[in-house]
Amino acid sequence: MWKKRVAVVLMVCLAAVCLMVKARTAGAADKPFVFGLLLVGPYNDHGWSQAHYDAGQYIEKKLPGTKMIYIDKVNPADRQGVTIPQLVDDLAEKGARLIIANSDDMKDGVLEAAKLHPEIHFLHITGDDVLTKKATKNISNLMAKMEYGKMMAGFTAAMTTKTGKIGYLGPLINEETRRLAAACFLGARYAWENVLKRDPKELSFQVTWIGFWFNIPGVTADPTQVCQNFYNTGHDVIISGLDTTEAVVVAKQKKQEGKAVWAIPYVYVGACEGASDVCLGVPYYNWGPGFLEFIKASKAGAWKSKWVWLDPDWKNINDPDTSSVGFWPGPALSKEAKAALDGFIKDLGDKKVNLFKGPLSYQDGSVFLKAGEVATDSQIWYMKQLLKGMIGQSSAK
């Protein structure tokens, strides 16, 4: 009899143990994979930071079992004295296993934080520490080839301008911003000379830098005033390189005053909203596909430190699931200019047109690319100056 009782007790205990193990396993399986975002601007800025925030929401929908947390306004003006490692500590305490930092200005902080948190994976947007061998094994770099989107913006501006004067509203000056402004210029020059068949001397491309990615009163130049100055001096199309929408806001005001002006904002697919009468289109980032690759790898334990510079999906540059760079035509773009733009995009995708091909010279006359030479990714990435034919500073010094 006692043997039966012991057997029953053992069976009950075994069942209890099995239930506990099952519960723990289920709990682990139900625990979300938390990824964090460090955003340089407000999460709803209708620009650079919102494009990253929206991509985080895309990941939550596309990859079940993931959860986004974020800290925005990560810049010296909004968070004086606060360091990237301190913010990373906060995200780590909340369970983040991968952290995405979305500004080149965070480079040093990300390196420091990655050394302090080897258990966390870091994805740094626009950085090149993997290329330069400075990165720890838990850091990767991601960027998209917005140079193509900027070529489209420049092309569109040249197809639209009536005065031949295009203004470029630039942020701070570094290799990234130089190559993006140069790509705009090359796109504008191509449309001017090859489509419109106009004299290159009749095209003016002026770059004015404000000093940061968005307005910081008392620190940067006022982008609203810069736009006013452009329009008041005969520039009728402004291409923005900022994270924010001042270019289209001022263009709309000028339009209401009776002036024929247009603008091309930057970064965010919805940047034309509310400015349909002046917005020619927007070159934008779609971070979802790029984020997805890295988060999947981290979640699966297959992380690798690498530098990735993503091309558009030339089959459909506006496909939200495949293309990291897009160009959304604006309501103010004419049918004729839209048709020409479509042809230009097709030629870029088919490699019939390569605008980073020599001969090209820097502003000071030194050679960037010899005749017939096609630029490598490294030559484009580390652009030293603006190009000959562009007006504006190549250096902040």
DSSP string, 225-260: HHHHHHHHTT--EEEE-SSS-HHHHHHHHHHHTT--
> What token pair was written down for 243?
């994270």
Lowest mean pLDDT among 11-15, 77-81, 244-248: 11-15
What is the dihedral angle through the alpha carbons of 140, 129, 153, 339, rounded to the nearest 10 degrees? -50
- Positive or negative CA dihedral for 317, 320, 321, 324? positive
- Structure tokens of 244? 């924010």
**175 pLDDT more than 80:** yes
Question: What are the tens digits of pLDDT across the range 221-240?
Answer: 999 999 999 999 999 999 99
Region 100-122 average pLDDT: 96
- Give the number of other Cβ atoms within 10 Å of residue 372's Cβ: 8
Which string of DSSP letters, residue by residue, matches 188-212?
HHHIIIIIS---GGG-EEEEEE-SS
What is the pLDDT at residue 10? 46
Task: Calculate the average pLDDT of the chain.
Answer: 93
pLDDT over 90 (residue 330): yes
Report the pLDDT value the prediction gives residue 339, as an integer from 0 to 100: 98
Helix locations, 300-376, DSSP H: 335-349
Q: Is the pLDDT of residue 205 over 80?
A: yes
Residue 383 reports pLDDT greater than 80: yes
Looking at residue 27, its pLDDT comes to: 46
Alpha-carbon gap, residue 315 to 349, rounded angstroms:
8
In percent, the amount of the chain with pLDDT more than 90 equals 88
The CATH 3.40.50.2300 domain(s) of the chain lie at 31-144+288-310, 146-284+330-381
From residue 190, alpha-carbon distances to 208, 304, 343 in Å are 22, 39, 13
CATH topology of domain 31-144+288-310: Rossmann fold (3.40.50)
Asked: is 146-284+330-381 a CATH 3.40.50.2300 domain? The reply is: yes
What pLDDT, on a 0 to 100 scale, did the predictor assign at position 5? 53
pLDDT of 263 above 90: yes
Query: Model confidence over 238-254: pLDDT tens digits?
Result: 999 999 999 999 999 99
Provide the residue count of the chain: 397
Separation between Cα atoms, residue 22 and residue 28, nearest integer Å:
10
**pLDDT-derived band at 30, boundaries 50, 70, 90:** confident
pLDDT score of 341 more than 90:
yes
Instruction: Work out the average pLDDT over 99-127.
Output: 96
How sure is the predictor about 377, in pLDDT bands with cuts at 50, 70 and 90?
A: very high
The pairing of strands 165-170 and 204-209 is: parallel
The pLDDT-based confidence of 77 (bands split at 50, 70, 90) is: confident
Do the strands 325-329 and 281-285 form a parallel or antiparallel pair, or are they unpaired? antiparallel
Q: What is the pLDDT of residue 29?
A: 55
Say which range, 75-84, 196-205, 295-304, 386-395, has the weakest mean pLDDT.
75-84
User: Which residue's entry shows tokens 């209708």?
Assistant: 46
Please state, in angstroms and rounded to a whole number, the distance separating the CA atoms of residues 101 and 140: 11
Closest by CA to 305, choosing from 96, 124, 102, is: 124
Region 192-207: mean pLDDT is: 97
Percent of the chain residues past pLDDT 70, beyond the cut: 92
**How far, in Å, are 28, 63, 64, 66, 289 from residue 32 at the CA level?**
9, 11, 9, 5, 20
Query: Is 35 a residue whose pLDDT tops 60?
Result: yes
Is 60 exceeded by the pLDDT of residue 18? Answer: no
For residue range 208-224, what is the model confidence (pLDDT) as tens digits?
A: 999 999 999 999 999 99
- What would the mean pLDDT of 33-40 be, rounded to a whole number? 98
Average pLDDT over residues 382-396: 96
pLDDT value of position 76 = 86
Using one digit for the tens of pLDDT, what is the confidence trace for 108-117? 999 999 999 9
DSSP conformation letters of 22-83: HHHHHHHHHS-EEEEEE-SS-TTSSSHHHHHHHHHHHHHHHSTTEEEEEE---STTTSTT--
pLDDT (0 to 100) of residue 215:
94
Identify the bridge partners of residue 308 per DSSP, sorted by sequence position.
Answer: 142
Are 357 and 369 in contact by the 8 Å Cβ rule? The answer is: yes
